[in-house]
Structure 1
Amino acid sequence: MSERRIIRIENLVTPKRRAFGILLHLHELDRKGSDTSALIRDSNLPAAVMSDPDMLIDIAAERRFLQRLLETEYSDVTPLEAGLAIGASTDISMFAPISNAAKFAGSCLEGLSMFLRFPELIWSNCCVAFGETDEEEFIEFVPETRNETLDAFSAARDMASTLGFIHGFYPDAPPPLSMDFQYDRDVTNRHLPDRLSGLLRFGRGRNELRMPKGFWTHRPITASAAMFRSLEMAIMRQLPVLRRQDRTSHLVTRQLRALEPIASLETVAGQLGLTARTLSRRLADEGVRFSALQDEVMVGRAKLYIRHSDLSLSQISDILGYSEPGAFTRAFKRVTGVSPKSWECR
Structure 2
Amino acid sequence: MIPGATEYGIDVAPAQAAIERLLDVEPADVEPAAELSYCRNVFVPLTTACRYTCTYCTYYDPPGQADLMSPDEIRETVRRGADAGCTEALFTFGDDPDDRYAAVHDQLAEWGHDSIHAYLREACEIALEEGLLPHANPGDQTREQLALVADVNASMGVMLETTAEVQAHGGPRAKSPGQRLDTIRTAGELGVPFTTGILVGIGEDWTDRAESLLAIRELHERYGHVQEVIVQPVVENERWQDGTPSVETLRRVVAMARAGLPDDVSVQVPPNLAPARDLVDCGIDDLGGVSPVTVDHINPEYEWPGLRELEAVADHAGVPLTERLPVYERYVDEEWLSPTIRDALRADDDAGERFRACLSDPPEQQP
Structure 1 or 2, whichever has the larger Rg, is 1
Structure number with greater CO (CA < 8 Å, separation at least 6) is 2
Same fold per TM (> 0.5)? no
Which structure carries more helix by proportion? 1
TM-score by structure 1 length?
A: 0.24
TM-score by structure 2 length?
A: 0.23
